[in-house]
Amino acid sequence: MSKRKTPKVWKSESPEDSLKPNPDSYRDESPKSEENASAPDSYRDDLPQSDLNKSGPDSYRDENPKSEIKEMEVHHHPEVEKKGLKEYLLEGLMIFIAVMMGFFAESIREHITDGDHEKQSIESLVKAVASDTVQLHDVIVQATGSIKAINSLMGLKNQDLTQAGNKQKFYLFSLAGFSNDTYFRSNDGALEQLNASGTLRLISNRGTVDSIFKYELLNKNIAAQEADDYFVFKEMLTTMAKVQDLTIFQDTSALRKQVVGAGGVQYTFTGNTLPAISGDKVLMQAYFNYASLYMATKSVYNYRLQKQLDYGRRLIIYLKTAYDIE
């Protein structure tokens, strides 16, 4: 029995359904799409032509107006104005002037600072010299007293020292002449500071520098004479201890001490009996020899003290005037 074929029935479609794509019909109408699925541009078959144009190499230029490209090209490489030789020379001259002005300003500042430091050092020196003059005066008074006492002692050389009056004078003059070993000690801290700090090189006035050097030299001369004086003084004391009894000067019952100004101590014997004086002629000759030598060295020392005192006073006046110091 043969099969009957069912006739195809076509359904009416609405306008909306007719616009919907039919997948089956699309595949039937484009059988080659499956064969070309592996082609590089196959994915573009289902894209509108406008979308394909956007992915092309000219799509960037299509989206950017040419006015923006021209604006970028204008500011890409700005031109640098070239300077002439005169401009370079002017700039160099201005730099040179600026450097020189800085150098001059620094030099002026250093000059002012050095000037202040110099004046302060000179003020310290003036104070030191002033203190030296006070000490010099006191030492001179004591040295003068010693010289005067020794000179009176030398007058007893040929006298009878067994007599009470001569014996008393011998003790008093020897004590006054040889008990004083006071020496001058310069306040040289300011001078040492001047030398150590290099302030002397800052003093432009050569006369001021020479004056300071001279004062320092006189101090050294005094120190040298002091060494000679002290050597004879020690020999004198050794000989003196052999000639007379020195313990009497510590006996308050036989001797009275009285301070007299800056000249030292004045002694007065209150007892009539004094220890005997050596009768050895050789020893007594050595005693008076040392007394004479000590008076000579002390006189030279005193002369140098007096010379330094006079020069120190004049130096103070000179420095105060030169540096306007009150």
Please give the full DSSP string across 264-290, using - where no structure is assigned: -EEEEE--S--PPPP--HHHHHHHHHH
Question: 313: which 2 tokens?
Answer: 């006073």
259 phi, psi to nearest 5 deg = -75, 130
Asked whether residue 145 is domain-assigned, the answer is yes
Long-range contact list for 13-18, CB < 8 A, 24+ apart?
none
- Which residue pairs from 101-104 have beta carbons closer than 8 angstroms and sit at least 24 positions apart in sequence? none
- Its domain, for residue 157, covers 120-323
Residue 105's pLDDT is 73
Amino acid 34: pLDDT: 42
Query: What's the gap between Cα 176 and its chain centre?
Result: 50
- Number of structural domains in the chain: 1
Question: Residue 191, Cα to own-chain centre: how many angstroms?
Answer: 17
Q: pLDDT tens for the chain, 326 residues: list them.
A: 444 444 444 444 444 444 444 444 444 444 444 444 444 444 444 545 544 444 444 444 445 555 554 454 555 555 556 667 788 788 888 888 888 887 777 777 666 666 677 888 889 999 999 999 999 999 999 999 999 999 999 999 999 999 988 998 999 899 889 988 889 999 988 888 887 777 777 787 888 999 999 999 999 999 999 999 999 999 999 999 999 998 887 887 777 777 766 555 677 777 667 889 999 999 999 999 999 999 999 999 999 999 999 999 999 999 999 998 98
| 260 in any annotated domain | yes
Please answer whether residues 36 and 42 qualify as being in contact, where contact means their C-beta atoms are separated by less than 8 angstroms. yes
Closest CA to 191 of 183, 200, 182: 200
Per-residue pLDDT, 261: 61
Kindly state the tokens that stand for 137: 């005066």
3-class DSSP state of 258: strand
Q: Are 315 and 215 spatial neighbours (Cβ–Cβ below 8 Å)?
A: yes
The Cα–Cα gap between 183 and 226 comes to 7
With respect to residue 13, please indicate whether it lies within any of the assigned structural domains: no
Torsion angle in degrees (nearest 10) through CA of 83, 89, 94, 98: 120
Q: Which two tokens stand for residue 166?
A: 């001569």
* Structural domain includes residue 252: yes
> Which residues have CB under 8 Å from 241's CB, separation 6+?
none
Helix (H/G/I), strand (E/B), else coil: 57: coil
In a domain, 8, yes or no: no
* pLDDT of 157: 94
For residue 176, tell me if it sits in a domain.
yes
**Alpha-carbon separation of residue 315 from 187, 215, 220, 289 (angstroms):** 15, 8, 17, 39
H-helix or E-strand containing 317? helix 281-323
Task: Please indicate, yes or no, if residue 103 is contained in any of the structural domains.
Answer: no
